Structure 1
């Protein structure tokens, strides 16, 4: 059963049970949620935020013609990519968490539509369930596999034939072909491991873990796939990673294309995958790290610095997009030294100083503010 106490508002907004309660007042779901709220009165704010998001999605859908043809899977993916690029490229985004005024609708609608199409895709077009465990996967492989297990108390480093390395946590196991040859490189995992993949665009690298497939060309990332766990996580440190549910049709399609498909992750981004319903949730990693290169040595000492420059510095240093209303916050300045604090502590300090608030949405940081007085 879903653990609703530890769920984000955007995850709750796309939960089928929550939707049936709020959208069609299903009596069974209504009773469940009323009882749940009675037992969890501290979660009223979570319910309110999720409902506001769901209401906005519904309003956006109402703008589409009722006779419009059903949206295909490919159209959904293309629309998500197009709208995501619009969010990244727009110069003066305007976002309000709860209220959307006409002059602010552009970027807000873009963000909402990304989640809206994701909602339609996940609820109305679910991917086939696979139930492919580690043992099931390796028994389906025709070529001989080499299995390495870590029975130690500490991590174990595995050097692969292509120059890649795996740091396998205790109780973890990996299997891969003896020669590691062919046009693709494939590893089967149960447990947790950190991968540093030797770059070779002509030979994509695949990690199979409890129904989730991770595809890379050359990068570093962590996969957490404990045996019998209800979730799989992929966290990216460097480069780009694509993830997708490991159905036979999807895997075959991805192997035909050397490019990264599925959901693409960049540094400091992660996904949480639920094998039971093949749902994938994208977000910022719990502890974002400074990017490698010049950005790692960026100073965070500000003296009456315009807030736009402050946010630009954070974006460059952590690779995470910060969306805010530049017009509303044009009179906001920051004087502070933030060198040693983790990213979220930096954001807490900044928002407390300028009376703002931030939320995470689809691996973006969304800043809400009423502006600053001179």
Structure 2
């Protein structure tokens, strides 16, 4: 699964799906990227820069550029390495003739763009320090209550606002005796399952070793052990927003909006602190939403495929992207019960001669339609 949030503009411009959207106006990729922008509004500038770069390359090399799409990252890196070798060796000027015009143009353009955005990369790297649970708790002026789970079983923690935490072994939390001000703040090291009482006027924050989760009222799991190479947030109900500690630039100006990477039920984020890299995806086994009938039978009798995907999307709370025009002649006759979602999708796609993949927490269906 490709994760796009951590990509720089020059990297995004090389993505085949992004290229198809920008240069070929592909309806499936176009639908996906429009939805992705809705879910990631803070990435508008990155997308604009990537689109500008792609347009500049296309305008410079025209049809040659289109015929070379998609150009792999390996090819680009190989040409960059060759270009650097040529620059460093004064007696190798003849090597310039070995580049096909389009491949040299791509490599040179990437080097230029890397230079233009170098300051951005350095800024991001400088901010990757993050802060640990111990450091965060030490900064809080007001007294905090700390609970440690030193047992071998989960421990239920009741918070002042009647929210609860199931605190797992080898984990600890700290919080104020009363939640005053414009936010509720919890400090976690380890793993906890949160059920948060909804209060839009007082958002709920979980600070976990450099990972921040913001909610208004929902249930979710945060796993963030100190020193771990990866951390995770998994949503059960409602919506949460996840971001790195350094991105909480102005906590005094609370907007009561979920900004950052927004997760909905059956979605998760895996965070790598060393690279400040987020990977958004689906949980291993998506389950129907609580408001859906748990005993629901997914029974279809010559049902248009758009209605089938609509039913699955509504039941699991997931975005399913497909080309309705291409698949307008596809129908499904089948009955499902408690099979895992991915088994349902496997059977449906085999029936209509299609395939699916996970992209940024959504399902992307590809196929040539039905006759």
Q: Same fold (TM over 0.5)?
A: yes
> Against the structure 1 CA distance between its residues 313 and 152, is the aligned structure 2 distance closer, same or farther, given a 3 Å change threshold?
same
Alignment-derived partner of residue 270 in structure 1: 268
Alignment-derived partner of residue 368 in structure 1: 366
> Against the structure 1 CA distance between its residues 286 and 173, is the aligned structure 2 distance closer, same or farther, given a 3 Å change threshold?
same
Alignment-derived partner of residue 171 in structure 2: 172
Specify every segment of 5 or more residues in structure 2 that has no aligned partner in the other structure, as ranges.
51-113
Alignment-derived partner of residue 107 in structure 1: 31
What is the DSSP-based 3-state SS (H/G/I as helix, E as strand, rest coil) of the residue aligned with 1:198? Answer: coil
Residue 103 of structure 1, CA deviation: 6.9
Alignment-derived partner of residue 18 in structure 2: 57
Alignment-derived partner of residue 196 in structure 1: 195
Alignment-derived partner of residue 87 in structure 1: none
> Against the structure 1 CA distance between its residues 205 and 369, is the aligned structure 2 distance closer, same or farther, given a 3 Å change threshold?
same
Q: Equivalents in 2 of 1:108, 1:361: separation in Å?
A: 9
> Are 1:283 and 2:281 matched, yes or no?
yes
Aligned CA-pair RMSD: 3.1
Q: Equivalents in 2 of 1:52, 1:336: separation in Å?
A: 41
Q: Equivalents in 2 of 1:159, 1:341: separation in Å?
A: 35
What is the DSSP-based 3-state SS (H/G/I as helix, E as strand, rest coil) of the residue aligned with 1:252? Answer: coil
Q: Equivalents in 1 of 2:45, 2:276: separation in Å?
A: 16
Does structure 2 conserve the Cα–Cα contact (< 8 Å) formed by 1:298 and 1:317?
no
Q: Equivalents in 1 of 2:169, 2:348: separation in Å?
A: 39
Does structure 1 conserve the Cα–Cα contact (< 8 Å) formed by 2:27 and 2:323?
no
CA deviations over 1:108-138 (Å, ceiling 9, x no partner):
66468778965769x9545421330111111
> Are 1:330 and 2:328 matched, yes or no?
yes
Residue 352 of structure 1, CA deviation: 1.6
Residue 215 of structure 1, CA deviation: 0.9
Alignment-derived partner of residue 230 in structure 2: 231
Q: Equivalents in 2 of 1:53, 1:341: separation in Å?
A: 37
Residue 299 of structure 1, CA deviation: 2.4
What is the DSSP-based 3-state SS (H/G/I as helix, E as strand, rest coil) of the residue aligned with 1:131? Answer: coil
Residue 164 of structure 1, CA deviation: 0.3
Q: Equivalents in 1 of 2:228, 2:287: separation in Å?
A: 26
CA deviations over 1:179-230 (Å, ceiling 9, x no partner):
3333321111111110001111221111001211111111111101122111
Map 1:72-83; keep pairs closer than 5 Å.
Answer: none
What is the DSSP-based 3-state SS (H/G/I as helix, E as strand, rest coil) of the residue aligned with 1:359? Answer: strand
TM-score (norm 1): 0.70
TM-score (norm 2): 0.71
**Number of aligned residues:** 295
> Against the structure 1 CA distance between its residues 242 and 254, is the aligned structure 2 distance closer, same or farther, given a 3 Å change threshold?
farther
Does structure 2 conserve the Cα–Cα contact (< 8 Å) formed by 1:131 and 1:276?
no
Residue 105 of structure 1, CA deviation: 7.0
Of the structure 1 ranges 146-155 and 175-184, higher mean CA displacement relative to structure 2 is found in 175-184
> Against the structure 1 CA distance between its residues 103 and 129, is the aligned structure 2 distance closer, same or farther, given a 3 Å change threshold?
closer
Residue 343 of structure 1, CA deviation: 0.9
Q: Equivalents in 2 of 1:231, 1:174: separation in Å?
A: 19
Residue 251 of structure 1, CA deviation: 4.5
What is the DSSP-based 3-state SS (H/G/I as helix, E as strand, rest coil) of the residue aligned with 1:308? Answer: helix
Residue 232 of structure 1, CA deviation: 1.6
CA deviations over 1:33-75 (Å, ceiling 9, x no partner):
xxxxxxxxxxxxxxxxxx99724535767x7xxxxxxxxxxxx
> Against the structure 1 CA distance between its residues 204 and 316, is the aligned structure 2 distance closer, same or farther, given a 3 Å change threshold?
same
> Against the structure 1 CA distance between its residues 284 and 293, is the aligned structure 2 distance closer, same or farther, given a 3 Å change threshold?
same
Structure with the greater alpha carbon radius of gyration? 2
Specify every segment of 5 or more residues in structure 1 that has no aligned partner in the other structure, as ranges.
1-7, 24-50, 64-99
> Against the structure 1 CA distance between its residues 150 and 313, is the aligned structure 2 distance closer, same or farther, given a 3 Å change threshold?
same
Q: Equivalents in 1 of 2:317, 2:232: separation in Å?
A: 20
